[in-house]
Structure 1
Amino acid sequence: MLKTAANHYVNNFRGFTKEIWILTLITFINRAGTMVLPFLSKYLNEDLQFSLDQVSWIMVSFGLGSMLGSWLGGKLSDKIGFYKIMIFSLFTSGVSLFFVQYITSFWGLCIAMFILMTIADMFRPAMFVSLGAYAKPENRTRALTLVRLAVNLGFAAGPALGGLIIMGMGYSGLFWVDGASCILSISIFALLVKEKKKVDHGDKSESVTNVKSVFHDKIFWVFLFVSFITAMIFFQLFTTLPLYHHKQYGLNEFQTGLLMTLNGLLIFALEMPTVGFMERKGIPKIKIIIVGSFVMALSFFLLLINVWAGILVISMICISIGEILTFPFSNAFALSRAPRGQEGRYMALYTMSFSLAHIFSTKLGFGIADHFGYQRNWLFMASIGIIATLCCIWIRNALLLEKKK
């Protein structure tokens, strides 16, 4: 029985092209090397002696650069091709990281972080479009999930390695290793993967081909609102929740780390089999996203029960299940929705919704918790999660009407 279960699990990783496995490898190398980000606020506050207000503005510059980069990356992917954008983005941002460490003034870092993230985040929409080109239509959602798995594993390894590097080399070591990982990963990609311009759309059952512009696609804009809300809720995992663990229940960093590890283990163990099962059953992506957004909202309703620490584990399980059901299928829905030749624009806006959510999640979450308490923040996050779920139901009904036309 155990052997059968193992075979079923391994089968979910079969059927991918060589290019998808290379994309997964370079994503892992790049994300494992992304050590500056987890320690950036700590570096700015403790090493460069900036105030928390100054740190927050540098992080806003970071987020604004991410948004602009996402838009440029998508638009230019449609104009000149995702392949060139991916190589330019990772190589140039890798070299830039070597120099950013020497900038120590407030305004200099605001400008540097904005430019760096504009270049670096051109990569994300281009990478999504590349998956549409290199993955087979029947396993595109699994291909997106495989890359997400590499991202999660890379992020799990990166902070631990980063801590060791800081101890041995100081913060400057992070910039050198992060930059080197960007250059190494994109060099592997350029050497082993040939450019492919055509994106095979495959099944367009949840998309349209008669939309002239992304700005006229009402369904997609409602979907972007859903993506923004679910991302904003999810990012509470890295902002307000760790502080709440300590303030409400007295958890230390190690115990909070164990809860984060639970999230990572659940994603690693369940996401690929879940996506494989849903694909085999042919369940519409939007139906899965409806359930995922509801479960994510439920996880924050559970946090309103603040008399038992065990509720943190149950809530974390719900957040993880919501993540598994929402994000892989949201990626796939956005790509399948794009008309031919507009994949980059669609994926740019989808990526930008996450960048915007990152900014708002931090500001809103801490603002509500500071002025009204953590309970009000959980109630707010859960409530907007229900709004996102209702929007998903509207999208499902709109898609049904669209098919009848």
Structure 2
Amino acid sequence: MLKTALGRYINNFKGFTHEVWILALITFINRAGTMVLPFLSKYLKEDLQFTYGEVGWIMVSFGLGSMLGSWLGGKLSDKIGFYKIMIFSLFTSGILFILLQFVTTFWGLCFAMFIIMAISDMFRPAMFVSLSVYAKPENRVRALSLVRLAVNLGFTAGPALGGLIIIGMGYQGLFWVDGITCMIAISIFAFYIKEKKKTSINKDNIVLSDLPKSIYKDKPFWLLLFISFVTFMVFLQIFSTLPLYHNEKFGLSEFQTGMLLSINGLLVFLLEMPIVSTLERKGVNKIKNIAYGCFFIAAGYFILLFDSWVGILVISIVLLTFGEIFSFPFVNAVALSRAPKGQEGQYMGFYTMSFSLAHIVSSKTGLEIIAHYNYQINWLIMGTLGLLALLCCFWLNELVHTKKKS
């Protein structure tokens, strides 16, 4: 029986091109190295002694740079190609992450985080466009899940290793590892994957009236962006306010926080691909899957209102993980599916901008709520926003369904 289950699990990973596997590998190396991010708010607060407000503004700079990078990455991917953008982004950001450890002033960090993220996040829309080129059409959602799996597997190793590096080498060690792994990852990409041009649009196979004339007139896409923004904003508390909450409420160390976050990555590694494959095989409505994810994310924060037992931290992480599994791969897929040929970069640029905007609002809002009220009010607000995203999913489903009928 165990052998059968293992065989079924392995079958979920069949059918990918070697380029998709290389993309997944470099994503894993890069994400395992990006162990600075889960501890960034703690580093700024505890090591550099910034106030909650100052930490919030530095994270705003982080998000603003990410937004600019996402827009540039999408725009330039359509103009000069995703391949060049990916190589420039990862190699340059690797050097800049190493140099970041030497910046310790408030305004210096605001500027440095803005520039680093502007360059680093040019990678993300370019990588999504690359999947539309290197992945087979029938495997596209699973390819997105495979790359996400690599991200989360990296985060499984990254936070735990990051906690050990902090203990042994201090926070500076994280910057060295992050920068070096960025450069290793993109070197592997450049060596094993050759540039491949996007195929030109085949007008014979497309009903042009079904394509949006402009991204700015694609109403379902903008509603999807709002849902993704709210979902990301709520979920990203896991990297900003939750690590602080672990320490201040329950006295957990960096290593213990890292181990808790590793539960998220481990569960995604074990469950996301089988769940996504099953839902795809059964033809379950992608927007309904996103709605299920919003429900689990909301529940993951509401459960934190019962804070008399440390075990709720584990339950919360598990609920948030299921929210991520059901929501994120299908948000990616729906966003990419709405892009006409030749506009994939622009669409995925706006999509990744919603993630970047969520970074800005999430950390700043969460830290301000905690500073003026308390953690409980923050969890209540985040859970309520998750329910708002859930309601918007029903609206989006109705909008898309009505449009198809007409």
Whether TM exceeds 0.5 here: the answer is yes
Give distance in 1, aligned partners of 2:7 and 2:200.
29
Contact 1:132 1:199 in 2 (8 A): no
Q: Distance in 2 between matches of 1:169 and 1:242?
A: 20
Deviations 1:242-277 (A, max 9, x none): 4445555x3533665554333222212111100111
Partner of 1:400 in structure 2? 401
> Given the superposition, is the C-alpha separation of residues 98 and 366 from structure 1 closer, same or farther in structure 2, using an over 3 Å criterion?
closer
Aligned to 1:349: 350
**Match in the other structure for 1:6:** 6
Q: Partners in 2 of 1:29 and 1:355 — Cα distance?
A: 22
Does the 8 Å contact 1:133/1:200 carry over to 2? no
What CA deviation, in whole Å up to 9, does each residue of 1:343-402 have, x standing for no partner?
A: 111111111111111221222223333434333322222222121111111111111122
Q: Verify: 1:110 aligned to 2:110, yes or no.
A: yes
Q: Which runs of 5+ in 2 are unaligned?
A: none
SS at match of 1:303: helix
How do residues 3-402 of structure 1 correspond to structure 2 at under 5 angstroms? 3-45=3-45, 47-48=47-48, 50-166=50-166, 170-198=170-198, 209-245=210-246, 250=250, 252-253=252-253, 256-402=257-403
CA contact (8 A) 2:165 2:174 kept: yes
Report how many residues are paired.
Answer: 402
The answer to whether the 8 Å contact 2:301/2:316 transfers is yes
User: Is contact 1:44–1:50 with CA below 8 Å preserved after alignment?
Assistant: yes
Is contact 1:299-1:319 (8 Å) kept?
A: yes
- Counterpart of 1:237, as a letter, is I
Contact 2:52–2:368 under 8 Å retained in 1? no
Aligned to 2:229, the other structure's residue is in SS state: helix
- SS of the residue corresponding to residue 223 of structure 1 reads helix
Are the equivalent residues in 2 in contact too, given 1:35–1:162 (CA < 8 A)? Answer: yes
Write the distance in 2 (CA, Å) between the matches of 1:144 and 1:273: 13
Partners of 1:132 and 1:200 within 8 A in 2: no
What's the RMSD between the two structures over aligned residues? 2.7
User: Cα distance, 1:311 vs. partner?
Assistant: 4.2
Q: Compute the displacement of 1:20 (Å).
A: 0.4
Q: CA deviation at 1:33?
A: 1.8
SS of the equivalent of 2:340 reads coil
Task: Return closer, same or farther for 1:199/1:360 CA change in 2, 3 Å cut-off.
Answer: farther
Contact 1:132 1:201 in 2 (8 A): no
Paired with 1:43 and 1:242, the residues of 2 have a C-alpha distance of 11
Deviations 1:24-44 (A, max 9, x none): 111111112223334444444
What displacement does 1:140 show?
Answer: 0.9
Name the CA distance, whole Å, in 2 between partners of 1:375 and 1:323: 22
Q: Is the 8 A contact 1:304 1:379 kept in 2?
A: yes
Which one is further off, 273-282 or 357-366? 357-366
Residue type matched to 1:56 in 2? G
Structure 1 residues 150-159 or 191-200, which shifts more? Answer: 191-200
Cα distance change of structure 1 residues 315 and 224 upon mapping to structure 2, 3 Å threshold = same
CA distance, structure 1, for counterparts of residue 171 and residue 395 of structure 2: 48
Structure 1 36/208 Cα, relative in aligned 2: closer, same or farther at 3 Å?
A: farther
The amino acid of 1:384's aligned partner reads L
Code of the aligned partner of 1:175? F
Distance 1:256 1:37 in 2: 13
Distance, in Å, in 2 between the alignment partners of 1:334 and 1:368 is: 31
Greater CA drift, 322-331 or 89-98: 89-98
Kindly indicate whether the alpha-carbon contact (under 8 Å) linking 2:82 and 2:129 is maintained by their aligned counterparts in 1. yes
Q: Distance in 2 between matches of 1:167 and 1:292?
A: 35
- In structure 2, C-alpha distance between the alignment counterparts of 1:346 and 1:188, rounded to whole Å: 27
Distance in 1, Cα, partners of 2:256 & 2:183: 35
Distance 2:54 2:373 in 1: 24
Instruction: Give the distance between the partners of 2:219 and 2:303, measured in 1 at CA.
Output: 33
Contact 2:228 2:355 in 1 (8 A): yes
Query: Shift of residue 52 of structure 1?
Result: 4.6
Q: For the Cα contact (< 8 Å) 1:31–1:155, is it kept in 2?
A: yes
Kept after mapping to 2: 8 A contact 1:209/1:339: no
In 1, the alpha carbon distance for the partners of 2:385 and 2:369 equals 14
Query: What is the rounded CA distance, in whole Å, between the counterparts of 2:29 and 2:380 in structure 1?
Result: 38
**What whole-Å deviation, never above 9, does each CA across 1:107-163 have from its counterpart, x for those lacking one?**
333222211111111001100111111111111111111111111121222234344
Distance, in Å, in 2 between the alignment partners of 1:30 and 1:136 is 24
